Amino acid sequence: MEGEGDMAEPSSVENLRRGYKAFADNDVETLSEIIPENAVWHVPGRSPVAGDYRGRDAIFSYFMKLAEASGGTFKAELVHALGDDQYSVALQHTTATVKGKDLDSFDVL
């Protein structure tokens, strides 16, 4: 449709895109700007990294656990994002190799 691409992207989606790029680039400064100090990151399941990570430092510690467990192979690629000015949702393609086993999944965050 004409004019469909003229709308500006919501701020939450812009931040999501910035965050994925910063994560891929190991840009801690930008991640620190995006992730609030009092944020909580919930990782469901029963894996060794499952649980609630409270605060930016704890979240960064979680990111380090992912890197260490995967020998640096963990990748999170933003496939699609949608949202409004407050909330956003991401379709993420996740790949990693852990203990010789390959992970290749699509996740909604």
Tens of pLDDT, residue by residue over 49-93, are: 999 999 999 999 999 999 999 999 999 999 999 999 999 999 999
Domains and CATH numbers, the chain: 10-108 (3.10.450.50)
pTM over 0.75: yes
User: Is the distance from CB of 97 to CB of 80 less than 8 angstroms?
Assistant: no
pLDDT of 32 strictly over 60:
yes
Radius of gyration of the chain from its Cα atoms, rounded to whole angstroms = 15
What six digits make up the tokens of 86?
Answer: 């407050």
pLDDT the model gives residue 8: 84
Model confidence at 1, pLDDT cuts 50, 70, 90, reads: very low
| Nearest-angstrom CA–CA distance, 65 and 71 | 10
User: Is the distance from CB of 104 to CB of 95 less than 8 angstroms?
Assistant: yes
Note the pLDDT tens digit of each residue in 13-22. Answer: 999 999 999 9
β-strands 101-108, 88-98 pairing: antiparallel
